[in-house]
Amino acid sequence: MTQPAPQGAPRSTRVGTEMVLRILDVPDLRSIPGWREDENTPLGRSAADIAHLARRLDILQQTLVNVATSIRRDMDRVVDGTDVDLQSCGVLGSSGQSLDSLIVRRTALLQELERSVGLHLALAASPLAPPFGQRPAAPAPAKKDKKLTAPQREALEAVSTGKVTMYSSSKRGELRMLTHGAKVSRKALGNLLQRKLVERDTSTSLFVGQTVRPTATGLRMLAVQNTAPAPAPAASPRSIAPAIAAARRPR
């Protein structure tokens, strides 16, 4: 009787993981550059995809080894002449088809993993990618526009109609304001200039006069203020007196 050849130690089935660790030169999958489970960046998503593909390939390889081991046991029985109790439909049955299907799937998954690793290397080398171990800076919180006071709103409305001009009539450079009859507070206008809601037209000299005009932010602020619902006027005691009297009148 032919003795089966001695079998060596079983090889590792972590083919996907070992390939990734070898190419990227990292000790484990969590050390892949960009690995951050709580970050939604291109490099982070690429690292997560690579780890997922590597584990899928490991599982597929283990399944392939299990099927091949079962087939080898049946083949050894054929060689030893102890296969008389095997099924009459064939020695391999569906095991051969399963083995071929698993090999095809492994090849496709291996190619997909190789492409993903190559793409990840390109992303990691991009100057836009943050250094490994450094989190990308969090976006600054959006600033909320402060509401306008009544004098600021009046000044902004006057500016939007082109009624406000700044000029200087002395060598000291003192600024004066011409409002063409509009009610504009000098302090409110200064606040609007500081908040960059209005600006001066510097294409002309101050001695000639510089028209003050609203900026895009100022126009947006004015539109928001104009569309805000006005508070309902409080009812005067005289207007509610008849209603109270009617409610108290016996029926």
Q: pLDDT class for 241, splitting at 50, 70, 90?
A: low
- pTM above threshold 0.75: no
End-to-end CA distance of the chain: 119
Most confident of 14-28, 92-106, 124-138, 205-219: 14-28
- Per-residue exposure over 217-227, b if at least 16 CB sit within 10 Å of its own CB, e if not: ebeebbeeeee
Please determine, for residue 87, whether its predicted confidence score (pLDDT) is greater than 50: yes
> Rounded to an integer, what distance in angstroms lies between the CA atom of residue 196 and that of residue 216?
9
The Cα diameter of the chain in Å comes to 121
Q: What average pLDDT score do residues 196-207 get? A: 82
* Residue 68: per-residue pLDDT: 86
| pLDDT value of position 85 | 64
Can you tell me whether residue 175 is helix, strand or coil?
strand
Residue 242 pLDDT class (50, 70, 90 cuts): low
Question: Residue 244 — very low, low, confident or very high, per pLDDT cuts 50/70/90?
Answer: very low
Residue 171 has pLDDT above 70, yes or no: no
Round the average pLDDT of the chain to a whole number and report it. Answer: 75
Lookup: tokens for 141? 């919180």
pLDDT (tens digit per residue) in 94-151: 677 788 888 888 898 889 888 888 888 887 776 555 554 455 555 555 455 578 888 8
Calculate the alpha carbon distances from 106 to 97, 109, 114 in Å: 14, 5, 12
Q: Which of the two residues, 223 and 118, has the higher pLDDT score? A: 118
Mean pLDDT is lowest, of 22-26, 27-31, 179-183, for 179-183
Average pLDDT over residues 149-154: 88
> What single-letter amino acid sits at 139?
P
User: For residue 84, what is the DSSP state?
Assistant: T
3-state helix vs strand vs coil in the chain, percent to 5: 50, 5, 45
What mean pLDDT is predicted for residues 184-209? 84
pLDDT at 142: 47
* Nearby residues of 2 by Cβ (< 8 Å), 6 or more positions away: 79, 80
Taking the CA atoms of 61, 67, 72 and 75 in sequence, report the sign of the dihedral they define: negative
User: Residues 114, 42: contact at Cβ < 8 Å?
Assistant: no
Has residue 227 got a pLDDT over 80?
no
